[in-house]
Amino acid sequence: MAEPTNTPMPTAPPTPRSGSPVPALPTTTTISTTTTSGQQSLTSSPTTTRRPQWPNPHSQAHSRATSLTVPMHSPGPRPVVLHIGDPVKYNPETYAEFSTLFDVVRPSAEERARPAFMAALREKRWGDFAAIFRPFWGTGGEMGLWDAELIALLPESVRVFASAGAGFDWADVKLLGEKGIIYCNSGLAAGEAVADFSVALIISTFRALPYCITSASKPGTFQAAHAQATALSHNLRGHVLGLVGFGNIGQQIARRCGAGFGMEITYYDVERKSGAVEAALHARYCDGLEALLRGADCVVLCAPSGAGRIINAESLRWFKPGARLVNVARGALVDEDALADALEQDRLSGVALDVHADEPAVSEKLLRFAGSKALLTCHNAGGTVETHVGFEELCMRNIMAVLSGREAISPVNLQWLK
């Protein structure tokens, strides 16, 4: 689930993270791969996968129903949904319901290039559409940043923008809200995958996995690593895990590492969670970033990019000697040059970074530590088949909910909604 190359910079301030864990997934079911044309197609995924269940869009009234409802069953034309990106692949049953309720218009790849896309909006080629639907990361981002220039061209009829992915640093969600458009991300769908991947990265920093893996591929270093890795390795039990951000993903990581590995859980968030959440996860709140960093043996970043460059030369001095850093959030949170300096000076024992400040480029200074102190991956944390099944489903459910006057399932900008 790599970030699109056309979304390099954050455009909105941080927003509170959901305090609830990802919805439970049902038992394994077979996924049909019927295309929208009715033909059967094969995918490269396993033949069975778990499909997430989201709240029924007809079950809860929207607090803004008077102003946001777009009648779906009244006489006359159906609401138009602008579908940007590839066709729906994993959820044909939901799409059948979706396309019954709405007229779905999908611009071609050529029409989605920024100049052509803006020209089409100016001439109202797709009419007064009510929603924007982007079910995949890999496509649908051809028009680049959703900034003031682009958002100004949207018709007043748009009520909801539902997109794949947890991050939204490529869209000015504040400006969308001020225009009356609810932006819904798909972080709920990615939470399980990101949390699982995070555990692997955490383990890598305690068990010197970059060194062990690299040494196994070089015949002359196998024996040396076999003998020397022990002195670099530690069990997770009893060590303090510090989570920066304690929303859906942070809580899932806490549950895995606390219950599964016996780690002590601490967290820092702009919004302290309820006593019930803290008690259930045996998590201790730190009243500032410095307090968390000074006490943690391993720090995991799972905060939105709008938090700013919180890991920098100053905050790196707050880390315990030999501590570890894992980043599954956004590369913009870290001063990579300062981090490389900390590794060079042996102030940190290891890092595991799935995200980078200038993707797809990776810091040359950090690359020097790949295979020794650094595990560097390619924005893979959320990239599973199950995540993409959930992206599609959740995007459609969000749109169906909002346009029927119900509450959005995963909105991120209600505080700016006008």
In whole angstroms, what is the distance from residue 287 CA to residue 265 CA?
Answer: 14
- At residue 276, the 3 state secondary structure works out as helix
How many Å is the Cα radius of gyration of the chain?
22
**Residues recognised as catalytic:** 330, 359, 379
Q: Give the separation between CA 46 and CA 34, rounded to whole angstroms.
A: 15
Q: Which of 82, 85, 90 is nearest to 139 (CA)?
A: 85
Q: Which residues pair with 374 in a beta bridge?
A: 351, 370
Q: Count the helices and strands in the chain (H runs, E runs).
A: 16, 14
What are the phi and psi torsion angles at 6 (to 5°)? -100, 20
> Residue 306 has what pLDDT?
78
For residue 193, the model assigns a pLDDT of 97
Are residues 74 and 405 in contact, defined by beta-carbon separation less than 8 angstroms?
A: no
Q: Sign (positive/negative) of CA torsion 205, 210, 216, 222?
A: negative
Quote the CA–CA distance of 20 and 13 in Å, as a whole number.
21
CA dist 320 and 298 (Å) reads 9
Q: Which two tokens stand for residue 231?
A: 């002195």
**Mean pLDDT of residues grouped by 10 in the chain (418 residues)?**
30 32 34 32 38 49 39 68 97 97 98 98 98 94 97 98 91 97 95 97 98 91 95 98 96 98 98 97 98 98 89 98 97 97 98 97 98 97 96 98 97 94
Strands (E), 338-377: 348-353, 374-376
